[in-house]
């Protein structure tokens, strides 16, 4: 490949914005394999995982299923996407406030979308709704509620929060709350009152939508 066409030189001369996804990924890979340069390998990797979004949520073991992807390449890619997620989290909760249910859905969505398993996220806030901490509470299967009322309240109190919200994802893509979601919402609300915490809301997030978990109360 001519020097002027190589991703490294193109980024240096024109900036990262000028590079295609596969060129940026090629820089992370560092090298290709015999008969296939890094850009070609990057293109195959993107195709195998459905593009950047799918690649961002693939674990290193899944990345290594593509011929030519060794452990070193796989962990570099996983580490890069993890840094992006951490940066998103920093930007989200400083100095954001939770004043509506939509706010809760917005700040938790980056931690919940694109997953194949269920995850619970807890957002601890002060009395004015300013976010003190966003915590990925637990990851697990899709056939049972993962929300521990006791652990949730303990986390908020340890953070020094006065209010909190909870969000979780439905990997099925259906944002409608289940009966279990409604029951645990009632329990969170009741338990929060006993320790003088304000329960802000509970939302279900999918890749394209969110729903507030409402109860009969």
Statement: residue 143 has pLDDT above 50: no
Looking at the structure, tell me whether residues 198 and 114 fall in a common domain: yes
Looking at the structure, tell me whether residues 111 and 208 fall in a common domain: yes
Q: Residue 53 to residues 22, 48, 209: CA-CA distances in angstroms?
A: 13, 12, 17
Q: Residue 71 to residues 60, 76, 198: CA-CA distances in angstroms?
A: 7, 9, 46
CB-neighbour burial class of residue 172 (10 A; exposed 0-12, middle 13-18, buried 19+): exposed
Looking at the structure, tell me whether residues 108 and 155 fall in a common domain: yes
Mean pLDDT of 138-158: 79
pLDDT digits (tens, 9 = 90+) for 173-191: 999 999 999 999 999 999 9
pTM passes above 0.75: no
Looking at the structure, tell me whether residues 101 and 41 fall in a common domain: no
Total of domains in the chain: 2
pLDDT digits (tens, 9 = 90+) for 114-131: 888 889 999 999 999 999
Query: What pLDDT shows up at residue 92?
Result: 53
Looking at the structure, tell me whether residues 79 and 102 fall in a common domain: no
pLDDT digits (tens, 9 = 90+) for 42-88: 999 999 999 998 898 888 999 999 998 999 999 999 999 888 877 76
The answer as to whether 217 is a domain residue is no
Start-to-end Cα distance in the chain: 66
Domain membership of residue 99 as a residue range: 95-212
Residue 8: which CATH number? 1.10.150
Looking at the structure, tell me whether residues 75 and 109 fall in a common domain: no
Looking at the structure, tell me whether residues 81 and 181 fall in a common domain: no
Looking at the structure, tell me whether residues 125 and 171 fall in a common domain: yes
């Amino acid at each position: 490949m001519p020097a002027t066409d190589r991703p490294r030189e193109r980024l240096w001369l024109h900036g990262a914005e000028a590079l295609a996804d596969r060129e940026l990924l090629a820089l992370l890979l560092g090298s290709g394999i015999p008969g296939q340069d890094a850009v070609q390998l990057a293109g195959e990797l993107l195709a195998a995982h459905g593009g950047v979004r799918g690649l961002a949520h693939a674990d290193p073991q899944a990345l290594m299923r593509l011929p030519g992807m060794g452990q070193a390449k796989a962990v570099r890619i996983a580490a890069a996407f993890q840094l992006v997620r951490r940066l998103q989290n920093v930007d989200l909760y400083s100095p954001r406030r939770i004043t509506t249910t939509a706010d809760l859905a917005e700040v938790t969505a980056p931690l919940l979308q694109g997953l194949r398993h269920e995850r619970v996220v807890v957002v601890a806030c002060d009395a004015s709704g300013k976010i003190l901490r966003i915590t990925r509470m637990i990851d697990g299967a899709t056939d049972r509620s993962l929300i521990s009322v006791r652990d949730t309240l303990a986390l908020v109190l340890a953070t020094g929060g006065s209010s909190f919200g909870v969000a979780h994802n439905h990997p099925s893509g259906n944002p409608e709350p289940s009966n279990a979601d409604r029951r645990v919402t009632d329990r969170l609300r009741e338990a929060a009152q006993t320790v003088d915490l304000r329960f802000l809301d509970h939302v279900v997030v999918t890749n394209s939508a969110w729903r507030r978990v409402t109860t009969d109360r």
